[in-house]
Structure 1
Amino acid sequence: MDFNPKKKTSNLILLAASFVIVSLILWNTNSFFRKFKEEERLKMEIWATAQSELLQSSEEADLGNLHVKIFQNNTSTPMILVNKDGSIKVNNMPETELLDTAYLNHKIKKFQGENKPISIDYRGEHLATLYYGNSEVLNKLKYYPIALLLIIFLFGAVIFFFFKTNKASEQNKLWAGMAKETAHQIGTPLSSLLGWNELLKSENISPAITNEIEKDISRLETITDRFSKIGSSPKLDEYDLVEETKSAFEYLKHRSSKLIQFSFESKVDHLPVLLNRSLYNWTIENLVKNGIDAMRGKGSISLEIVPEGNFVNVLITDTGHGIPKSDFQSIFNPGVTSKKRGWGLGLSLVKRIVEEYHKGKIKVLSSGKAGTIMQISLKIKS
């Protein structure tokens, strides 16, 4: 069950609008690029015409100001002029490379790829060939769409993570409020149950009955304490991890189906760890219950405590139907559950208890048809 309803229509409209806007920007940029390129081509053709007139003019002829102005105005477009006699003249290129034939041939091939060469003719006679490349402005404009897309992508990513974080914060406040309200609501009937149990003791009811009632009342008090701690920073004290883990594991063992085989193993007898006892026991119980549900009430579940350097790993293994590898991360997200009934908050709260409150790690160590292994890693108190 998904905790939050998906607004598919709004998302599709937003996606379509974004696609249209980006497409229009790219189309407009491409149109501007092509128009600028055409204008640069026209400028080169005018320059070639002026060069043709220059090549046919005698040294003594008065060329006038027009040709000079045409040559002087071209200060941005790199060009190579190859005369019919094989001589080469360059313009707007580094002078240090003019004598390097290999460099000039490389540039001619590059210019041919960027723009079609212009043949300079006069009265049917071929005088020279003009090779020209893109100007610096045109080259920068060519990469503008890429830069624009990158900016749009980064902006979209920032907006996405902002809303995601904001949404997660709102959900955390909601769950914390629900948990505290649940603890408050349980408190009233719990006080009443305590009173009724004392009354039953005075009526000479069998101690076995009142003792069991006291156990259930104690259990309700533990649950109330757990819920009241959600949303606040719980106090951590030094406890024996082995003892606390075994206690929570044994509690469920005595209250589960006889068709389930329980197995507990620890590599050490004692291990001091900073814990919030109530929340840690809740974590173990939650993971064990999930394993039992995955096995549908029949199978085997084991818990193993394995120290590893400065950390200790708590491994909960079941023989259930397994979890798809693609869901290893998502199962800890709020609202994600494979059960027909449920809010999908259990593993989300477990992750918060382990990682936020105890500064540890929890993950799906492995999963398949043979079952699933969940791993909790906590730091050992030095």
Structure 2
Amino acid sequence: MKKTTRWILIISSIAIVTSVLWNTYVFFQRFKEEERAKMTIWAEALGEFIQTTDLDRDMGNVTLAVMKNNTSTPIIYVGNEGEVTSNNLPENRVDDSVYIQRKIQQFTTENPPIDVTFRNTKYGTLYYGNSDVLNNLKYYPMALLLVIFLFAAVVYFFYRTFKVADQNKLWAGMAKETAHQIGTPLSSLLGWSELLKAENVNPEITAEIEKDIDRLLVITERFSKIGSVPALEKSDVVAETYKTFQYLELRSSKLVEFDFKSPEIPIYCDINRQLYSWTIENLIKNAIDAMKGKGRLTIEVVLDKKFVKINVIDIGKGIQKNDFHQIFEPGYTTKKRGWGLGLSLVKRIIEDYHNGRVRVFASTVGKGTKMQIVLKTTP
């Protein structure tokens, strides 16, 4: 039903626009014909005036009145002897021969010239252009289309905004519910961890379990923050990046060679640690997937004046250039399994919450990709 209604509205809109444009065109042509008829009468009046000036002064006065009635259409009369008379042109240009010749060429393209004759005798040629009313009418369809386009753009913008807002509410609700659901088994795991300690289980085992429990706590906190503005605090980006890097290195395939490069000094930025860690984790996991679990993965932290750049580099399958922006769109994925939300979350976290920038810095199909995050440093 909604699809049928949408098509009815689209077809009706096209029909209305087509009708308005067609009627405008018909009115334009009719007005142009009436203007030519008026100019034809004016040319006849001019020929009669030239012939009767010495014969019938009263008739000449009537003809002169007809000629003076034209106050809108620009005209140029060129006599057989080359004399030039103009009307409705700028007074300061009527003696400019170059300007007059250019106008004659313009008028000839707009309307066919009219011979000024009387009783089969030709006295000259009349050139005339479109009046201001006709010129304005000529641009009316374009103005109408522009208004319609702007109106459609505004409608689409509001429709898109409401749709995105609904989607955001849905994702925020799902994320918070996920955090709530994780919380229950997580509490049990904390209890089991304490029982294992009491039973004197190998401390190395319980230590690794506690790391995973801490990780689950971080993930729960991440999901709970979706839909709300996160608090930012001054943190060492080098340390926070390395912490996530090290955690994933220990839990990834040994076929992936990890490499971390950074200055030996701390670099401070205002970040939310949980959400920032999420972005690094997403980029690292994407890089590992691009290499199909085998290859070299490098993270570089580079200080560049007032900014810090975090580069995640892989030697995977690469990204085509026309997909550089598209990969950040929600739902876009090249994986057989995946919802295409990872990079869209990365973009939102970095650009909306941290006022930074994330982009595909460089990529070559079959050779690898360099993803880059840029954040402003904090003194």
Structure 2 residue matching 1:314: 3-state secondary structure: strand
Instruction: State which of 20, 24, 49 in structure 2 corresponds to 1:25.
Output: 20
Q: Distance in 2 between matches of 1:239 and 1:209?
A: 30
Are residues 1:376 and 2:370 paired? Answer: no
Q: Deviations over 1:221-267 (max 9, x none)?
A: 11111111112222222322222211110111111111111111112
| Aligned-partner residue type, residue 342 of structure 2 | G
**Alpha-carbon deviation of 1:111?**
1.8
Q: Which amino acid aligns with 1:338?
A: T
Match of 1:292 among 278, 281, 288: 288
Task: Give 2:38's match in structure 1, choosing from 37, 43, 52.
Answer: 43
Q: TM-score, normalised by structure 2?
A: 0.90
* CA distance in structure 1 between the aligned counterparts of 2:36 and 2:81, rounded to whole angstroms: 25
1:358 to partner: Cα distance: 2.0
Aligned 1:70-89 pairs, distance under 5 A: 70-89=66-85
Distance 1:268 1:165 in 2: 45
* Aligned residue type for 2:22: W
Output the amino acid matched with 2:36.
Answer: R
**Using the alignment, how far apart are the partners of 2:201 and 2:92 within structure 1?**
109
Pair 1:272 & 2:268 matched: yes
Q: Tell me which of 319, 322, 329 is aligned to 1:326.
A: 322
Note closer, same or farther for the CA distance 1:222–1:98 as it changes in structure 2 (3 Å cut).
Answer: closer
After superposition, the Cα gap between the structure-2 partners of 1:201 and 1:45, relative to the gap in structure 1 and judged at 3 Å, is: same
Q: Does 1:347 align with 2:367?
A: no
State the 1:183 CA deviation: 0.5
Aligned residue number for residue 142 of structure 1 = 138
Q: Give 2:107's aligned residue.
A: 111
User: Are 2:29 and 1:34 aligned?
Assistant: yes
Q: Output the amino acid matched with 2:288.
A: I
Match of 1:93 in 2: 89
Question: What's the secondary structure of 1:59's corresponding residue?
Answer: coil
Please state whether the residue corresponding to 1:63 is helix, strand or coil: helix
1:379: Cα distance to partner? 1.8
Distance 1:271 1:103, change over 3 A: closer
Paired residue secondary structure (1:143): helix
Corresponding residue of 2:307: 311
Structure 1 residues 50 and 201: alpha-carbon distance in aligned structure 2, compared to 1, 3 A threshold: same
Inter-partner Cα distance in structure 1 for 2:156 and 2:60:
64
Which one scores higher on RCO, CA 8 angstroms, separation ≥ 6? 1
1:259 to 236, 255, 258: 255
Alpha-carbon deviation of 1:66?
A: 5.2
| One-letter amino acid of the structure 2 residue matched with residue 353 of structure 1 | I
Q: Which amino acid aligns with 1:365?
A: F
Structure 1 residue 100 displacement after superposition: 3.2
Q: Which residue of 2 aligns with 1:59?
A: 54
Q: How many residues align?
A: 376
* Deviation at residue 129 of structure 1 after TM alignment: 2.0
**Residue aligned with 1:253, SS:** helix
Corresponding residue SS for 2:27:
helix
Q: 5+ unaligned residues in a row in structure 2: which ranges?
A: none
Deviation (angstroms), 1:327: 1.3
**What do the CA deviations read for 1:325-357 (whole angstroms, capped 9, x no partner)?**
111112112111111222211111111221222
How far, CA to CA, are the matches of 1:14 and 1:191 in structure 2? Answer: 55
- TM-score, normalized by length of structure 1? 0.89
Residue 361 of structure 2 is matched in structure 1 by: 365
- Whether the 8 Å contact between 2:311 and 2:372 is mirrored in structure 1 is yes
Root-mean-square deviation (CA, aligned residues, Å) is 2.5
SS of the residue corresponding to residue 313 of structure 2 reads: strand
Distance 1:99 1:223, change over 3 A: closer
Instruction: Indicate the larger mover: 106-115 or 307-316.
Output: 106-115
Bigger CA drift: 249-258 or 349-358? 349-358
* Partners of 2:273 and 2:231 in 1: CA distance: 9
Cα drift, residue 155 of structure 1 = 2.8
Q: More displaced, 239-248 or 267-276?
A: 267-276
Amino acid at match of 1:346: G
Structure 1's 222 and 132: CA in aligned 2 closer, same or farther, altered over 3 A? Answer: same
Q: Aligned with 1:301: secondary structure?
A: strand
Structure 1 Cα separation of the partners of residues 119 and 314 of structure 2 = 93
Unaligned runs of 5+ in 1: 1-6
Percent pairwise identity? 57
Task: Kindly state the Cα deviation for residue 316 of structure 1 after the two structures are TM-superposed.
Answer: 0.7
Q: What letter is aligned with 2:369?
A: T
Change (3 A) 1:242 1:103: closer
Distance 1:103 1:204, change over 3 A: closer
2:117 aligned with 1:131: no
Question: What is the aligned partner in structure 2 of residue 4 from structure 1?
Answer: none
CA separation of 1:8/1:370 partners in 2, compared to 1, >3 Å: closer, same or farther?
Answer: farther
Offset from partner CA, 1:8-27 (integer Å, 9 cap, x none): 99888776665554443333
Q: Which SS does the other structure have where 1:313 is aligned? A: strand
